[in-house]
Amino acid sequence: MTETSAAVKTAGAPIKIDGVTKVFGEETGKPFKALRAVSMDIRPGEFISVVGPSGCGKSTLMLMVAGLLERSAGQITVGGRSVTGPITDVGIAFQDHLLLEFRTAEENVMLQADIRKLPKAKIKKRSDELFEQLRIAHAKDRYPKQLSGGMRQRVSLVRTLVHDPSVILMDEPFGALDALTRLQVRTDLETLWLNQRPTVIFITHSVEEAVGLSDRIFVMSPTPGEVVDEIIVDLPRPRPIVLGESPEFARYVDRIYRHFQQMGVLHGIDMPTLSDTTGGGE
C-alpha cells in the first residue's frame, strides 16, 4: 500500500465502524437483517472500496456513515465523533448524477454554497479549478440535458468535491457510464483524490474498479452482509488507466471472484487454485 508521505496533505478524517448491525422492519414483527456486526477501521486519507453482491447492505452502510440512516447496533465515529445524525463535512455521490435540469452545470455546483452557507467567492474559485482539472470548463454554462453522461458525472464530481470535504462517500458513481468513459472518470477521481487526500468510501459492484482505485478492499457476504475479507492493495500510484495485463492486479481480482464463487454468487466458473490467487494481498 502506498502510504501518505509527510509532503502530501492529508485532509481526510478517520472513520471507525465497530460491530454495526442494521435490521429493518423490527416494529412490524417481520424483521429483515441487512447487516451483521460490520467493523472497519479506516485511516485518514485512505481510499477504501466495499464490494459485494446486490442487496448485501453496501449502500445501507454508506448511509449510516453519513448519518442519514440509524443503525440498529454498534458504533460509528467520524473524526473521533460519534455519528448521531447527518454529518456536514462530507461529499456524497450516487450513481444518478442528481443534477437539477433547470440549472447550468456551474449553478448546480454553486448550489453547495447556498445550502451550506459557504463563502460564494471561495466556492466559485474552487469550482473553476475543478472544472479545469476535469476538462469540462467549456461546459459550465450548459444545462444537464446538453451534456453527455460522462460530463454530467464529472459535474456531479465537482459538486461533491467543491467544499473540500474530509470524507467522500460514493455509491456506484460510475455505474451508468460506458466502459471507456468509466475508465477515464476513474482516473480523474484518483488524480483529484491524490491532490487532497480526503477519506473515501467507494461502493461498487466492479471488482476491477475497486482494485484500480483502492488502498484496501472490504469484501461483503450476501445478506445479511458481513465482512468476509479485507485486502490490502499494494500497487503503486498513480495507477495506469488499464491494469488488466498486470499479474499483481489479476491476483487481487481473482481473489475477490473466488470469494463470490465460494459464497454461491458466481456459478459455473473455472477458478484457478487458491495458491495462484492470493500472493500479494495477504
The pLDDT tens digits of the residues spanning 89-141 come to: 899 988 777 899 999 999 999 998 888 889 999 999 999 999 999 999 999 99
Give the pairing type, strands 227-232 and 73-78: unpaired
Query: How far apart (Å, rounded) are the C-alpha atoms in residues 246 and 242?
Result: 9
Query: How far apart (Å, rounded) are the C-alpha atoms in residues 200 and 210?
Result: 12
Rounded (to 5) percent helix, strand, coil in the chain: 35, 20, 40
Helices (H), the chain: 58-65, 105-116, 120-133, 149-161, 179-196, 207-213, 247-262, 274-277
Tell whether the model's pLDDT for residue 273 goes beyond 60. Answer: no
Cα angle value 255/213/218 (rounded, 5°): 45
Nearest to 64 by CA among 87, 44, 80: 87
Q: What is the grid cell recorded at 15?
A: 472513520
Query: How far apart (Å, rounded) are the C-alpha atoms in residues 136 and 139?
Result: 5
The pLDDT, as a whole number, for residue 271 is 52
Q: What is the grid cell recorded at 51?
A: 464490494
Q: Rounded mean pLDDT of 262-269?
A: 72
Query: How far apart (Å, rounded) are the C-alpha atoms in residues 35 and 98?
Result: 27
Tell whether the model's pLDDT for residue 233 goes beyond 70. Answer: yes
Confidence of residue 59 (pLDDT cuts 50, 70, 90): very high
Give the pairing type, strands 216-220 and 47-51: parallel
Nearest to 152 by CA among 193, 109, 117, 120: 109
- Domains, the chain, in order of start with CATH, read 9-89+167-173+196-282 (3.40.50.300)
DSSP state of 220: E
Secondary structure class of 158 (helix, strand, coil): helix
Position of cell 452557507?
Answer: 117
The pLDDT, as a whole number, for residue 36 is 94
DSSP string, 68-125: SS--SEEEEEETTEE--S--SSEEEEESS----TTS-HHHHHHHHHHHHT--HHHHHH
The pLDDT, as a whole number, for residue 278 is 42
Position of cell 440509524?
Answer: 70
Tell whether the model's pLDDT for residue 167 goes beyond 70. Answer: yes
Query: How far apart (Å, rounded) are the C-alpha atoms in residues 233 and 30?
Result: 40
Maximum CA pair distance of the chain?
A: 57
